[in-house]
Chain A
């Protein structure tokens, strides 16, 4: 056994963490209380209603969601005074049935909701179709929504006890509840001694009279009742035990720590595997161990009928629902694969079934159990005897796949081989003995075995024997055999052909299995790689849709939430694979609950498509809807896992895209915010001064009592105009800068000649520069065109020129020149003024840096920052420096190549 006693008594941190997480999950989930009994009639519903009345009297908010009365009058009386939820009407086969209304319960959000009969199956074919196949799933959803639920359950409905109960009573229950649901609940045992129960039955308190006799006959026999009662009591006692153990696990002093045991249950394609799985569950509970159910895809298994293979799927799904981990391996021998896997997982116990192989095969093929015992010296092997109760598992009867089809042409080729052998043998006949001719036929049989499979090879062997006999064995041209020796020859030939054919068939099958697996991995890898190199949710979705559609030969749709969390189809680029009929309401449910739905899942299994949530770290990011052309494509566990892996990869990529977008948005927001703050601080002065001038001058002008000389009036008006112009410039600059900081300036690029732009900028600056400075433009006509937004770059140039006009004394010379560089045109604007202020000239270009602290020149600094923002938006650079000969130099590089889109 793999359990070992550790030295210290410290609790395993992982386990503690799991503990805490479970507690948290419990805290958020609603609580389930099960009124638990051995059989019908012990008074579960009655006790539940009594408890409900007590709770109500204590001021609790109790409502009855659904109660099955079975016509029992005393139970009905208890309902009086309790609030009852309306029932849903469901049409089924022309009749209207009254069923529990899950949505009504979810809307009502009562403190405690009563929902009778946890094991009840919903009528999936009803109209409107219920959301879940089983009532326990309805209850799960309510618990998930944080509602407390009270319900009732009989012991025979617990999944892992199913075959035990069947063994006792001879009646197999089709309605079962997974153990984990029961494990989470608080159990309230309703116990009634068998004699009392029988008395109640006879008094007609359980069933309506005409049914009593039949029920007594079939089920309510006293030995049955005793056994069931014992089961129920033991189940409840185990729960108490489990709670005690859980408690002890938290108290380090109480007991040494045991590593959790782990064992493997090996299941094959036979009927016993279902029993093995249930045994595994009980065994795991008893040992408090983890268990892994392993199915090995051997070549034998691949040859099985579809029905048998579907049964294997059902078994694996049962195992998953009972809490096992399931794994599918492949290899030539089940035993070897199991042993190898056991070693990688550090498992020392393997549970398998007793072989049921009968007849001659047992003589020359060892069973898996035998092989395990023989080769697995380091593992314990438990061999479980079959009890042969028949299967209760509803086998997903996927519509018949087209049968493999007998390839008749292979028989033709096989006959041709015989023909060729006979030809060669006829040529050799005059020169060689019959023994050598046999070799030719043997070779032919071997070739047929190698190439055409078993049946055709057998045909070749038989035909070979016939031809050899007919043409080359005395008496010739008859089928009579004179020499008994040849009988041995015939037998060997037949055996060789069949052996080779069988070996080849195995190898081929093996290769096919390995190939399929490799293809799956490759498919996943291909999609991941493509996703990794892609940006934008839409593009990611298109890639995912294409790959999933290809890998699962299905129609695929992806739905992503809009701003309000409502799912929307992502428009597909490929009509052939788009699954436009995907049901948005199912998708929405999957999205909200982050649980799969549809084909092969617990929710709405009757749907033709499967809906998987694209689950991110915190929430669902979208939903993947897949409509397979062949249902087995997604029903096989390994295929389902592969599909989930695809969904996982897609979700990961989407999350990455989303995080990137959020990071970008918050970066922009932070930058905008910081720009705004600096801006407010920096421009308040620049705005206040001109406003003071304007309001002062205009009040003087507006004053009717003031007599002013015409020149004085003109002067005042002039300064108003000048200051207003400055302010308007400042405001425009501020607006420009905010636009750039917000990152939302579309560039309207075109091919422009730099002399056009410089000319336009000079004209705009106009008298501010031209009047007092000497501007010289040295631009040759052979300069390359620049690919820029003309209006923005002109503004950038205006800002640099205005900066020169403001910061250099009249008479300064301003020179403009340009030089081509690889991919850029460098425009140089320099002056012979006082130069840039000391310090890092680059700082001058930073946002709102003002060269001189007390410049008295309005809006200085803003202009250069805008210039930089514009040029950088084009992928260019601005450099500021001082010339060696004195004066400032600004260099703007502008792209001469269109950016790759």
Chain B
């Protein structure tokens, strides 16, 4: 297992959930470090230098949000937030505070592992970057700036569409917020142009999705942003 060198820090106060997460993650070959409190979390993060952190927002000593802030003060490690469905506002706050993605509790094992893999890959992206990714039957070559369908026919993308697609690909299956996209693709002047963003997302779906009305790759995260599932991440929810 090539993943065996990865170290994950699980910050969660419930011992049973920690045990389930440890079992699940260790079965995948990751090494797991546990922390039950916010204070512990920061200490473990400093000493073990994990490759990714899973943070539960409801901690006994301090708000999980402060853990994210503390970690961000000294580290760029990918952070995944575990949050309940009814806590949309907290989710947004966590992402704004520096978290990279969230997993809704109660979590589905497949989804959780996919997110962990995506987070780890994003971190390793700079060292071993692959220029070619597959989205369904579409192949995108970032270096050559071209896309082809399953039959090898060239797919026409406008420069802006390509920049948007590249931005989502760099998200590696993690949620990319609207602000991040607008900042990266349109630049700081057009930060409010969410209508334009929606139009381009719709256009991209027309070209990428087999059924644009029921997207399977370029997903909307309501109220947050978008998520592009590249090959082998495109798992179903069941």
Contact = CB atoms under 8 A, between A and B. Distances in A.
Interface string A522-549: 0000000000000000000000000000
A779 B211 CA distance: 12
B210 to A, nearest CB: 13
A759 B85 contact: no
A763 B195 contact: no
Nearest to B209: A759
Contacts of A753: 198, 202
Interface in B87-102: 88-89, 92
B220 interface: yes
A757 B205 CA distance: 14
A748 B89 contact: yes
Contacts of B202: 753, 755, 781
Given A759-B214, A759-B215, A766 B221 contact: no
A776 B214 CA distance: 9
Contacts of B4: none
B33 interface: no
A763 B223 contact: no
A753 B201 CA distance: 11
A759 B220 contact: yes
A790 B236 CA distance: 22
B207 to A, nearest CB: 14
A736 interface: yes
B150 interface: no
A760 B221 contact: yes
A728 B86 CA distance: 11
A764 B214 contact: no
A732 to B, nearest CB: 5
B194 A751 contact: yes
B119 to A, nearest CB: 20
Interface string B128-166: 000000000000000000000000000000000000000
A736 to B, nearest CB: 6
B237 interface: yes
B194 A777 contact: no
A792 B236 CA distance: 23
B176 to A, nearest CB: 14
Nearest to B214: A762
A735 interface: yes
B233 to A, nearest CB: 14
Contacts of A770: 214
Contacts of A791: 88, 222-224
Nearest to B219: A763
Contacts of B220: 756-757, 759-760, 763, 790
Contact of B213 (A736, A777, A790): A777
Contacts of B201: 756
Q: Which of B220, B222, B224 has the most CB of A within 10 A?
A: B222
Interface in A784-816: 785, 789-794, 816
B106 interface: yes
Given A732-B84, A753-B198, A767 B222 contact: no
A683 B148 CA distance: 52
Contacts of A735: 86
Nearest to B84: A732
A794 B92 CA distance: 16
Interface in A79-110: none
Interface residues of A, number: 40
A195 interface: no
A426 interface: no
B106 A724 contact: yes
A767 B111 CA distance: 14
Nearest to B203: A781
Interface residues of B, number: 28
Contact of A750 (B194, B216, B236): B194
Given A757-B220, A791-B222, A763 B238 contact: no
Contact of B215 (A732, A763, A779, A792): A763
A641 interface: no
A751 B195 contact: yes
B198 A748 contact: no
Contacts of B222: 752, 756-757, 760, 790-791, 793-794
Contacts of B238: 766-768
A260 interface: no
Q: Which of A758, A759, A760, A763 has the most CB of B within 10 A?
A: A759
A785 B195 contact: yes
A725 B104 CA distance: 12
A762 B212 CA distance: 12
Contact of B214 (A728, A739, A756, A775): A775
Interface in B43-68: none
Contacts of B205: 759
A405 interface: no
Interface in A702-749: 724-725, 728, 732, 735-736, 739, 746, 748
A748 B223 CA distance: 8
A255 B139 CA distance: 112
Contacts of A755: 202, 212-213
Contacts of B198: 752-753, 756, 785
B237 A728 contact: no
A759 B223 contact: no
Contacts of B84: 732
A790 B214 CA distance: 17
A786 to B, nearest CB: 11
B180 to A, nearest CB: 16
The 7 closest A-B pairs by CB, nearest first: A777-B213, A790-B222, A790-B223, A794-B222, A791-B223, A760-B220, A766-B237
26 contacts: A725-B106, A739-B86, A748-B88, A748-B223, A751-B194, A753-B202, A755-B212, A755-B213, A756-B201, A757-B222, A758-B213, A763-B216, A763-B219, A766-B237, A767-B236, A775-B214, A777-B211, A777-B214, A779-B213, A790-B222, A790-B223, A791-B88, A791-B222, A791-B223, A792-B88, A816-B213
